[in-house]
């Protein structure tokens, strides 16, 4: 770590989007920076701050939790402050409410006793960089996506529609983009590209692709949750050609696996642990497909039947969708008699689980994952074999990367509709876990574990990041910028860029490929 005596601590504002797949990486980076003596102001809404993991006691004096109440919206359920609180089609209204935080955020900076040295923000904050410029504060976009996915989405001009709509159809996303100069398998399948274009109404009036592009255009730097050892060519391309600004690696940002002492009061883990310890080393497949996407009834039946036919022990985490009752959902979505037939060999867990603790257990050898980048890095960092079943957003791109590097195996699917069969589940599982090539996958898994799970190496990435932040902040002028005039009569949520976007795109029916 950097020498805490020879440097002045940074005052850093952390402001994630309202999704725990974003909040947790922000929180993990904040802890890494606080461990180096820097002061953290972590901003979110009241309920989300209450749901943060516990701040380590030795760091709590460096934290200030800043509450910005979310404006009410009649289309949101009461107390809904995160994507986990609403069905997928209601996330658009979270963005409407979120945009209402632009003025309170500006007022917070104006009244803050100490001016921040940096603001680290998320994709949805298209209104934030002009506010930061007004106060002369450098800002950085923290990407929860990996470098190859970021590259695939393209430069700000493409995301903001300034290139004449060169990627205006689903098929444009099924081939490598023209700014990638080397061979690449990282593309969407036809059914993934179609799904990305088949969106609900965008009540906020500002598409995710425009938000993303506006942020990338106007932020000072980009911090990516990956490393150059894993994606070196993609980092180079982002820095030199796609963004043409500093792009810094953050490493895996893996939270530490809780100690046995920390888990002594966790009743769920104590029950799960009893079952895991009865299984053979490396034999169990952990199955978790995230909290936002759900399989169709046919998909659930095929997955369940494939797991049953594999004859492998498995631990399957299933969460019912918001608005459904547990009894009705599981009775309808699972094959009749399934739980009885797999009893003892397979566990269906209907609720929250300590995922890191399960993945870290010696009996777990495989991870059937939806390929969210956070879950993928957890699996890679703990040396698990990955079976890939992408569901939404960038997950297909992550699956292509992992599959092409031979560190995981993607379940074959119909490229037109995304359907898969029980046979493809069974065959893929057995090929990964006990097949002729399973040793090859294990060797690859150990290699990547050394990269993602080596804490000394990961700490080095954060040291470099901190050093960059110190050097950049010292060179950045603290005078007010004339980039934009943000006043109460012209809230930051409606900068000239956004007004132009609303005028030009009012009839647009697509929200290009990047839904977050």
pLDDT digits (tens, 9 = 90+) for 111-155: 998 899 999 999 999 999 999 999 999 999 999 999 999 999 999
Residues sharing a CB contact under 8 Å with residue 436, sequence separation 6 or more, in sequence order: none
Strand partners, 222: 141, 247
Instruction: Pick the closest to residue 207 from 97, 123, 291, 292 (CA basis).
Output: 123
Contact 419, 298 (CB under 8 A): yes
Burial of 246 (0-12, 13-18, 19+ CB in 10 A): middle
Query: Closest by alpha carbon to 272, among 366, 363, 339, 372?
Result: 363
* Whole-number Å distance between alpha carbons of 45 and 97: 11
Separation between Cα atoms, residue 406 and residue 432, nearest integer Å: 11
Burial 373-391 (b: 16+ CB within 10 A, else e): bbbbbbbbbbbbbbbbbbb
CA 162/CA 166 separation, integer angstroms: 9
* Angle made by CA atoms 191, 192, 197, in degrees to the nearest 5: 95
Statement: residue 98 has pLDDT above 80: yes
C-alpha 149/C-alpha 154 separation (Å) is: 9
- Model confidence, pTM: 0.89
Q: What is residue 501's predicted lDDT score, i.e. its pLDDT? A: 42
Closest CA to 400 of 187, 170, 195: 187
Query: What is the maximum span of the chain, computed from C-alpha positions, in angstroms?
Result: 69
| Cβ–Cβ < 8 Å for 71, 101 | yes
Query: Looking at residue 495, what is its pLDDT?
Result: 43
The least confident of 216-225, 330-339, 403-412, 494-503 is 494-503
Q: For residue range 200-209, what is the model confidence (pLDDT) as tens digits?
A: 678 999 999 9
Render pLDDT for 279-289 as a digit per residue (tens, 0 to 9).
999 999 999 99
Instruction: Name the percent of the chain lying above pLDDT 90.
Output: 73
| CA atoms of 149 and 138, how far apart (whole Å) | 25
CA gap 79, 266 in Å, rounded: 26
Tell me the three state secondary structure of residue 387.
strand
Confidence of residue 321 (pLDDT cuts 50, 70, 90): confident
Q: Residues 337, 342, 344, 346: what is their CA dihedral angle, to the nearest 10 degrees? A: -120
């Amino acid at each position: 770590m950097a020498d805490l005596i020879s440097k002045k601590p940074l005052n850093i504002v952390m402001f994630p989007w309202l999704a725990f797949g974003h909040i947790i990486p922000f929180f993990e980076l904040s802890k890494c920076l606080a461990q180096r003596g820097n002061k953290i102001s972590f901003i979110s809404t009241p309920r989300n701050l209450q749901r943060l993991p516990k701040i380590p006691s030795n760091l709590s004096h460096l934290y200030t939790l800043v509450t910005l109440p979310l404006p009410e919206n009649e289309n949101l359920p009461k107390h809904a402050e995160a994507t986990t609180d609403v069905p997928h089609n209601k996330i658009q209204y979270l963005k409407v409410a979120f945009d209402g935080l632009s003025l309170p955020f500006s007022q917070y900076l104006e009244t803050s006793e100490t001016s921040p040295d940096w603001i680290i923000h998320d994709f949805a904050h298209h209104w934030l960089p002009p506010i930061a410029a007004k106060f002369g504060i450098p800002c950085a976009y923290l990407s929860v996506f990996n470098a190859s996915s970021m590259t695939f989405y393209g430069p700000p001009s493409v995301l903001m529609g300034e290139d004449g709509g060169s990627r205006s159809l689903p098929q444009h996303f099924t081939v490598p983009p023209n700014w990638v100069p080397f061979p690449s398998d990282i593309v969407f399948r036809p059914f993934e590209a179609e799904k990305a274009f088949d969106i609900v109404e965008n009540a906020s009036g500002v598409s995710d692709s425009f938000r993303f592009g506006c942020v990338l255009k106007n932020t000072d730097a980009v911090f990516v949750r990956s490393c150059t050892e894993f994606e070196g060519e993609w980092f180079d391309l982002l820095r030199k050609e796609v963004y043409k600004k500093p792009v810094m690696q953050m490493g895996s940002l893996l939270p530490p696996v809780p100690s046995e002492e920390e888990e002594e009061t966790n009743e769920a883990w104590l029950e799960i642990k009893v079952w895991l310890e009865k299984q053979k080393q490396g034999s169990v497949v952990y199955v978790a497909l995230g909290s936002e996407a759900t399989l169709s009834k046919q998909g659930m039946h095929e997955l369940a039947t494939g797991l049953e036919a594999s004859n492998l022990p498995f631990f399957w985490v299933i969460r019912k969708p918001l608005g459904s009752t547990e009894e009705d959902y599981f009775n309808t979505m699972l094959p009749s008699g399934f739980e009885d037939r797999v009893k003892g060999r397979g566990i269906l867990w209907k609720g929250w689980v300590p995922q890191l603790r399960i993945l870290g257990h010696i009996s777990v050898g495989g991870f059937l994952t939806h390929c969210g980048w956070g879950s993928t890095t957890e699996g890679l960092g703990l040396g698990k074999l990955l079976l890939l079943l992408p569901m939404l957003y960038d997950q297909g791109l992550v699956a292509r990367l992992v599959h092409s590097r031979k560190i995981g195996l993607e379940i074959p699917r119909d490229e037109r509709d995304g359907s898969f069969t029980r046979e493809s589940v069974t065959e893929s599982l057995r090929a990964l876990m006990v097949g002729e090539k399973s040793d090859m996958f294990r060797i690859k898994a150990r290699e990547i574990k050394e990269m993602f799970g080596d804490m000394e190496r990961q700490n080095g990435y954060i040291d470099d990041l901190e050093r960059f932040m110190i050097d950049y902040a010292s060179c950045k002028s603290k005078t007010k910028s004339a980039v934009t005039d943000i006043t109460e009569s012209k809230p930051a949520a409606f900068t000239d860029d956004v007004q132009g976007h609303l005028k030009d795109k009012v009839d647009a029916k697509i929200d290009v490929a990047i839904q977050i």
